[in-house]
Amino acid sequence: MDVLKRIKGSTLMETLVATVLIVVVFMMASLTLNTLFSTTITTNDEPVRQELLFLQYTFDHGKLSLPYYGELDAWDISVQEQEVQGTKTIVFLAVNTINNREVTYTK
């Protein structure tokens, strides 16, 4: 009757300790992923880069009058003509009002 041989199991305390360890590991992983995702969302500047590229396109085709000022969510956008060492350049600038990040294109 080898089939009915008794198999040694774990005690209740071992099971509770293992459960607590698993919960702690999943909690730490969840907090890390939450921080990673929130940082990625707050530092995402792709929409404002697309807007600046669109403004460059409209300026190239004569549809944008200077100076230009606008807003996109938390970004203040400006397009101005500046003179640097006798050369006129067009500066496309976006400044985030929350964290003061800047995105700049010059033409």
Q: Which of 73, 83, 107, 105 is nearest to 92 (CA)?
A: 105
- Beta carbons of 93 and 45 less than 8 angstroms apart: no
47 vs 4, which has greater pLDDT? 47
86 belongs to a structural domain: yes
Residue 92: the pLDDT is 94
77 belongs to a structural domain: yes
74 belongs to a structural domain: yes
36 belongs to a structural domain: no
12 belongs to a structural domain: no
3-state DSSP call for residue 87? strand
Q: pLDDT per residue over 53-91, tens digit each?
A: 999 999 989 898 889 999 988 889 999 998 878 888 999
5 belongs to a structural domain: no
C-alpha atoms less than 13 angstroms from C-alpha of 71 in its C-beta half-sphere: 3
81 belongs to a structural domain: yes
Tokens of 76: 């203040």
32 belongs to a structural domain: no
Count of structural domains, the chain = 1
Mean pLDDT of 3-32: 88
3-state DSSP call for residue 28? helix
Mean pLDDT of 28-33: 97
Q: Find tokens 């060492």 and name the residue.
A: 85
Confidence of residue 45 (pLDDT cuts 50, 70, 90): confident
What is the rounded distance in angstroms from the CA atom of residue 18 to the CA atom of residue 102?
49
Provide the residue range defining the domain that includes 92: 46-106
